[in-house]
């Protein structure tokens, strides 16, 4: 079985408060995009006593046994009976890029194993399992444009407002530690919720929609801010860092003519 877990971008990201469980309350718009990993599995032979993961493509920097995919399948085995698997994950979505690659891989595996082996797990239960793996993981169960609140797990569908636009995603190859990013951001309730701002024309988002992580990220790695500036100079209607970084995207009315220094950092582009 072969599947293609999609990345996401964040249209705005506000940190609205601290939680007693140590996490933060946020609000954001999760929006799926065409950039994807490749995930394949086959049933191991009868002598197998564990699941095996092989990872190719972008180096994740971790041992396969520590990958979220293995943690996901172990969690499923604790609750359900199905054969051990040989899994091949081909990484295309950069790690620690604010694009949700690991969470998408995990959610896609949950859905696919549930379907292939007839486990009968409901979508709501899949989302509960996904939440145990990551705050943004439940989004990837349905993988449709959604307003997210709470830790990111309270999801409300929104209109596919980017249909017909052209998206460019750039990754500068630097990392942002999510914990450090949260520690260096202020919390506060926005005057207008992103659930309302998403209905404004895209051309007006520049003055209305922000990512609370950008200030810290731009100080930590000035190249991230320079990429955003470059996208606006290339006539982006809207540009923002995704998640806690470090990827930056630009939304255009048509395919842009980017300067070579930006072209060299593009990891995905295309119609949405």
Residues marked active site are found at 8, 136
Q: Which one-letter DSSP state was computed for residue 204?
A: G
Alpha-carbon gap, residue 136 to 104, rounded angstroms:
9
Task: Measure the CA angle with vertex 255, ends 261 and 93; round to 5°.
Answer: 65
Do 135 and 104 meet the contact criterion of CB atoms below 8 Å apart? Answer: no
Do 202 and 237 meet the contact criterion of CB atoms below 8 Å apart? Answer: yes
How many other C-beta atoms lie within 10 A of the C-beta of residue 94? 21
Structure tokens at 170: 């750039």
Alpha-carbon gap, residue 238 to 71, rounded angstroms:
37
């Amino acid at each position: 079985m072969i599947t293609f877990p999609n990345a996401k971008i964040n249209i705005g990201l506000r940190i609205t408060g601290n939680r007693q469980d140590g996490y933060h309350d946020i609000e954001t718009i999760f929006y799926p995009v065409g950039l994807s990993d490749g995930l394949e599995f086959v049933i191991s032979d009868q002598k197998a006593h564990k699941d095996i993961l092989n990872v190719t493509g972008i180096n994740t920097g971790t041992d396969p046994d520590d990958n979220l995919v293995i943690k996901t399948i172990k969690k499923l085995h604790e609750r359900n009976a199905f054969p051990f698997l040989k899994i091949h994950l081909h990484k295309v979505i950069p790690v620690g890029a604010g694009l949700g690659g690991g969470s998408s891989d995990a959610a896609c595996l949950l859905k696919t194993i549930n379907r292939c082996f007839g486990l009968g797990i409901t979508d709501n239960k899949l989302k509960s399992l996904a939440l145990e793996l990551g705050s943004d993981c439940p989004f990837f169960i349905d993988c449709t444009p959604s307003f997210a609140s709470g830790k990111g797990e309270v999801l409300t569908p929104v209109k596919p407002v980017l249909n017909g636009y052209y998206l460019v995603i750039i990754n500068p190859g630097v990392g942002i530690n999510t914990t450090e990013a949260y520690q260096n951001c202020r919390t506060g309730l926005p005057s207008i919720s992103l659930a309302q701002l998403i209905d404004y024309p895209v051309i007006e988002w520049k003055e209305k929609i922000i990512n609370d992580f950008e200030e810290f990220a731009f100080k930590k790695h000035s190249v991230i801010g320079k990429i955003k500036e470059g996208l606006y100079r290339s006539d982006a209607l809207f540009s923002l860092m995704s998640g806690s970084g470090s990827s930056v995207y630009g939304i255009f009315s048509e395919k842009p003519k980017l300067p070579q220094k930006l072209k060299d950092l593009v990891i995905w582009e295309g119609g949405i």
